[in-house]
């Protein structure tokens, strides 16, 4: 890490806060969901930093230790930090944290590059002691160097393996620009994107000759496609974060998992953290960023309405098709509550009708149970397209 990365830990920004909120809430939910299945938990922090922001706000290693201390199953942790000063601060912070006393073994704390320790971390004794170890890796580089697709794949190859990745879009965009200008190499990009053809496509999309206003979305989706192909993650969910000083993207938090339940849980976590008014868009926005928000993500609700009507053209179906089945689709960023709201809006607009649980009798809003004065929509009600 360089000097700027050291200074990163001297200020606890709203962007750091939202990152840690998502990490903490999800990791807690991850352990609850796997509590009956996993025999042990292993938390990995590949770019761990100094442990504290402004000497008082917990960074990701201490957030994880606090949550792991509440578990009854064996827990292990692995931390890697390259910067010598931050590594010294990290070691002290971990030693002083009360959560280390309840760990299954001593924390693995190493100074150096994450990529140099991945094999050793994923071969720790916890894996020989227990056959079902839930492995969660937080991969959070301050810059753009050091993240390799093969390392994400190695984590995800473990039972219940998941990653939460800080994907520095701003830095990657500048890196691609440097390759175009001949001032930067592409080897690290191949490590990040997984292969040469994907890097070639990223360079095409980022070329000054490509005026597409969709460049950011296309680059993001190209990386997500590469994650699915190279890491084995079937479910990939991005959360966009604004830059501190301008209406542009700083980075994405990208959750990678092979399990639909993990995808559903993370959507709920990101949904509570988003500041976007557009459903199906997970973002942390600056106050002045409404126009940008609408430009890159809207109109998600309109697309959902079109898809729902197309489905109902095939035949009547239960509400649960959307609220239970569709939310588990790999490319669907809507939550259960989002589909229910869209369906209620469509009913109000006269596009669809709600039928009783037998699929026979129309059940208008005023005859259904209410919650907080608003109509509800049970999963076992039927839906049909309203005839005009």
Q: 323 and 266 in one domain? A: no
Give per-residue pLDDT as tens, 206-223: 998 887 788 999 999 999
Is 79 in a helix, a strand, or coil?
Answer: strand
Helix or strand holding residue 149 (H, E): helix 149-156
- Do the beta carbons of residue 93 and residue 61 sit within 8 Å? yes
Q: 310 and 293 in one domain? A: no
Q: What is the mean pLDDT of the chain?
A: 92
Q: Among the three residues 251, 270, 297, which one is the final residue of a domain in this structure?
A: 297
* pLDDT at residue 293, rounded to an integer: 45
Q: 216 and 185 in one domain? A: yes
Q: 57 and 41 in one domain? A: yes
Distances (CA, A) of 284 to 16, 99, 239, 242, 289: 11, 30, 8, 6, 10
- The count of domains in the chain is 2
Q: What domain range includes position 183?
A: 3-297
Q: 80 and 23 in one domain? A: yes
CA–CA gap between residue 347 and residue 386 (Å, rounded) = 9
Q: 119 and 232 in one domain? A: yes
Going by the DSSP 8-state scheme, the letter that residue 243 receives in this structure is -
CA–CA gap between residue 55 and residue 280 (Å, rounded) = 36
- Whether residue 294 has pLDDT greater than 70: no
CATH of residue 14's domain is 3.40.50.150
As given in the structure block, the two tokens for residue 84 are: 């010598």
- CB atoms inside a 10 Å sphere around CB 204: 13
Give per-residue pLDDT as tens, 128-177: 999 999 999 999 998 888 999 999 999 999 999 999 999 999 999 999 99
- Do the beta carbons of residue 100 and residue 94 sit within 8 Å? yes
């Amino acid at each position: 890490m360089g000097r700027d990365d050291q200074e990163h830990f001297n200020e606890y920004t709203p962007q750091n806060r939202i990152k840690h909120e998502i990490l903490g809430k999800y990791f807690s939910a991850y352990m609850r969901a796997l509590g009956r299945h996993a025999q042990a938990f292993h938390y990995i922090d590949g770019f761990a930093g100094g442990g504290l922001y402004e000497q008082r706000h917990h960074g990701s290693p201490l957030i994880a230790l606090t949550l792991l201390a509440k578990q009854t199953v064996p827990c292990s942790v692995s931390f890697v930090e390259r910067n010598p000063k931050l590594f010294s601060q990290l070691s002290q912070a971990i030693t002083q944290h009360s959560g280390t006393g309840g760990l299954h073994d001593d924390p693995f704390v190493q100074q150096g590059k994450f990529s140099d320790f991945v094999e050793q971390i994923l071969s720790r004794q916890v894996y020989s002691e227990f056959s079902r170890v839930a492995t969660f890796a937080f991969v959070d580089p301050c810059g753009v160097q050091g993240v390799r697709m093969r390392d994400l794949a190695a984590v995800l190859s473990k039972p219940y393996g998941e990653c939460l990745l800080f994907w520095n879009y701003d830095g990657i965009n500048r890196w691609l620009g440097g390759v175009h200008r001949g001032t930067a190499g592409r080897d690290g990009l191949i490590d990040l994107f997984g292969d040469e053809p994907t890097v070639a496509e990223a360079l095409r999309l980022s070329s000054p000759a490509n005026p597409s206003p969709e460049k950011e979305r296309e680059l993001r989706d190209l990386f997500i496609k590469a994650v699915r192909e190279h890491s084995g993650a079937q479910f990939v969910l991005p959360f966009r974060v604004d830059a501190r000083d301008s209406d542009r993207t700083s980075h994405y938090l990208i959750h990678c998992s092979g399990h639909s339940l993990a995808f559903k849980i993370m959507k709920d976590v990101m949904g509570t953290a988003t500041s976007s008014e557009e459903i199906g868009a997970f973002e942390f926005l600056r106050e002045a960023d409404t126009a940008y928000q609408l430009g890159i993500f809207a109109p998600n609700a309109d697309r959902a309405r079109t898809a729902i009507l197309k489905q109902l053209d095939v035949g009547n179906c239960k509400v649960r098709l959307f609220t239970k089945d569709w939310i588990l689709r790999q490319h669907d960023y809507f939550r259960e509550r989002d589909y229910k709201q869209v369906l209620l809006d469509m009913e109000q607009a006269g596009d669809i009708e709600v039928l009783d649980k037998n699929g026979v009798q129309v059940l208008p809003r005023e005859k259904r149970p209410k919650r907080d004065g608003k109509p509800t929509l049970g999963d076992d009600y039927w839906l049909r397209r309203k005839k005009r």
